[in-house]
Structure 1
Amino acid sequence: MKIAFLADPLSGFKIYKDSTFAMMREAARRGHALYFFEQRDMVLEEGIVSARVMQIHLTGEPDVWYTADAAVDVKLSEFDAIIERKDPPFDMEYVYGTYLLELAVRQGACVINSPSAIRDHNEKLAIGQFSQYTSPTMVTSDEARLRAFHAKHGDVIFKPLDGMGGAGIFRVKSDALNLGSIIETLTANGRHTIMAQKFIPAIDKGDKRVLVIGGKPVPFVLARIPQNGEVRGNLAAGGIGVAQPISERDREIAEALGPLLAERGLLLVGLDVIGENLTEVNVTSPTCFQEIFDQTGFDVAAMFIDAVEQKVLG
């Protein structure tokens, strides 16, 4: 197959832990041809979506890990699969990219995950569809409502709806220290909508990343455990990742959501679970492939490429 990866610049890849690199390596091992482009490389002209794409070849070396042919303009419909792996922020440029990819789908391209499904599943707000699995949650820009939510629950996490890697997350305990300042900052004095969630003490055992591929849960999760008094377990915020077998509750959530999300075009999903509670549904570029493989030997990338092959080749 000809597989194109839409991602952030290759120069920023940390190949020892990058899940997109793990996908590339497994696809190349199976003999698939690899191509790469960035969102800025896409163009719509005379009704056709194309991109300036370069074919890449993995070298197996850690320093210079790929070589690339000269970039050429290619219709996106000419690829067997396009793997969408651009990281947030999910700003309007990201949204414009999903519109272009959606046009490409109508022209015959196979894009994974579905661009319209990515757009329809904000990674924070999507949990509102599955409230039976979440802790008490409020989404609003109204300061009075946010204050009332804190007064009711006493210990609350506040976070923006468009962040990643734990950015912009605040915990306010029962003393309400800095509550007003935090709400004013995150909402930009009522202009931005944010999320408030009742604090889940089980965060000390980790913010678990539960990967779901083709509607089926990966049998191991990565518990991202906060360090040094942090409330955030995100690896980008200094959390330590510990792989462990999927729990009964994690599997219950994954098996309930997985088939539904797959049916919507989300082949790869990263569910975040703290304790017994679903906290996020990650659909843009879920990670943790290599951490799980390194600690357990379970090849997540192989499971993912299996699912891509099944989708494309049947």
Structure 2
Amino acid sequence: MELAFYADPLETFKVQKDSTFAIMAEAVKRGHRIFSFCQHDMALDGNKVVATVKRIELTGRENPDWFEIEQTEERELETFGAVIVRKDPPFDTEYINSTYLLELSERKGARIFNRPAAIRSHNEKLTIAQFPEFTVPTLVTADGERLRSFHAEYGDIILKPLDAMGGTGVFRVEKKGLNLGAIIEMLTDNGSRTVMAQKYIPEIADGDKRVLLVNGQVVPFALARIPQNGEVRGNLAAGGIGRAQPLSKRDREIAETLAPVLSGRGLFLVGLDIIGNWLTEVNVTSPTCFREIERQTGFNVAGLFMDELEKTV
């Protein structure tokens, strides 16, 4: 089967920890041919959506020589066995436009995972509001006064943008409210951009747990990303240390509740973020942590991904 990966430029991959690379390597091991393309490689030309794709071979080496480009060609996406969406945020206008192009390809027969309309409909921060039984008090607004009132009520809060990743733009404001006004002004761009505020969850000290769902199946291990050096953010990109661990009873309750719902909506791969007993994010663009979980537990997440993909297509 030929698989096309819609992702960031190959030169930006860090293969020792990259989940997209893990899927690619598993696909090649199974005899599939892999291709890649980026956001601006797509075009609507008449009634066709085409992409300039690179046919790549894996070299078995590390960065920066982990791949070789065998050929470059223009293809309609429905000619592939599957298109795997692995483009990182920010989820900006260009990202949204790319989902429209992918959706047009889907209407002509392309098999796309995750489905573009489903990605567009599930903001990675806001989707938790659909599952209030699993969330802490949350406010989403651009109104500075509402944000100040939320802080006054809960005393210790997290503020973050709605369209970033890797812990970018995440702030904790404790009871004294130091710099609250400046943080609100910056994140909301003086009231013109919507942000999220959540009650602070002290269990972040034990890690921000990434729980993976693959085609409605729950991966039995989470990666707890533990903040370091006084950080409030556990994200690996922000310096957190990853510790793989079995799912807790509460982790499994959340995951098993959401898995069939999200799978039924066209979300083949989802990364839930859980702190303590609470759901904080639903990641649908390019969920990670495959390699860390496999390295520490032996559980082959990419293998499960390919098992489910092969069954589906």
CA distance in 2: counterparts of 1:4 and 1:176, whole angstroms: 48
CA distance in 2: counterparts of 1:108 and 1:216, whole angstroms: 25
CA distance in 1: counterparts of 2:70 and 2:44, whole angstroms: 23
Which residue is equivalent to 1:44?
44
Q: Cα offset for 1:311?
A: 1.1
Specify the code of the residue in structure 2 equivalent to 1:295: Q
Which residue is equivalent to 2:180?
179
CA distance in 2: counterparts of 1:181 and 1:3, whole angstroms: 46
CA contact (8 A) 2:56 2:71 kept: no
Q: Cα offset for 1:61?
A: 2.1
- Deviation string 1:147-191 (CA, Å, 9 cap, x unpaired) is 111111010001111111101111111111111111111111111
- Deviation string 1:198-243 (CA, Å, 9 cap, x unpaired) is 0000000000000011111101000000000100000010000000
**2:152 is aligned with 1:151:** yes
CA distance in 1: counterparts of 2:164 and 2:106, whole angstroms: 27
- Greater CA deviation, 288-297 or 50-59? 50-59
Specify the code of the residue in structure 2 equivalent to 1:18: D
Which residue is equivalent to 1:53?
53
- Deviation string 1:42-69 (CA, Å, 9 cap, x unpaired) is 1111111111112111122225222212
CA distance in 1: counterparts of 2:180 and 2:34, whole angstroms: 49
CA distance in 2: counterparts of 1:49 and 1:19, whole angstroms: 27
Q: Cα offset for 1:70?
A: 2.2
CA contact (8 A) 1:268 1:283 kept: yes
Which residue is equivalent to 1:256?
257
Provide the secondary structure at the position in 2 that maps to 1:71. strand
- Deviation string 1:252-273 (CA, Å, 9 cap, x unpaired) is 0000001110010000000000
CA distance in 2: counterparts of 1:244 and 1:121, whole angstroms: 27
CA distance in 1: counterparts of 2:147 and 2:198, whole angstroms: 10
Alignment of 1:4-19 (within 5 A): 4-19=4-19
Which residue is equivalent to 2:266?
265
Provide the secondary structure at the position in 1 that maps to 2:14. coil
CA distance in 1: counterparts of 2:247 and 2:6, whole angstroms: 30
CA contact (8 A) 2:209 2:222 kept: yes
TM-score (structure 2 length as normaliser): 0.99
Which residue is equivalent to 2:195?
194
RMSD: 0.7
Provide the secondary structure at the position in 2 that maps to 1:310. helix
CA distance in 1: counterparts of 2:108 and 2:244, whole angstroms: 41
Provide the secondary structure at the position in 2 that maps to 1:69. strand
- Deviation string 1:244-294 (CA, Å, 9 cap, x unpaired) is 011111110000001110010000000000000000000000000000000
| Equivalent residue pairs, number | 312
CA distance in 1: counterparts of 2:180 and 2:54, whole angstroms: 49
CA distance in 2: counterparts of 1:17 and 1:189, whole angstroms: 37
Which residue is equivalent to 1:284?
285
Specify the code of the residue in structure 1 equivalent to 2:93: M
Which residue is equivalent to 1:221?
222
Provide the secondary structure at the position in 1 that maps to 2:273. strand
Which runs of 5 or more residues in structure 1 are unaligned?
Answer: none
CA distance in 1: counterparts of 2:197 and 2:61, whole angstroms: 45
CA distance in 1: counterparts of 2:250 and 2:28, whole angstroms: 35
CA distance in 2: counterparts of 1:26 and 1:310, whole angstroms: 15
Which runs of 5 or more residues in structure 2 are unaligned?
Answer: none
CA contact (8 A) 2:128 2:279 kept: yes
CA distance in 2: counterparts of 1:189 and 1:13, whole angstroms: 35
Specify the code of the residue in structure 2 equivalent to 1:86: K
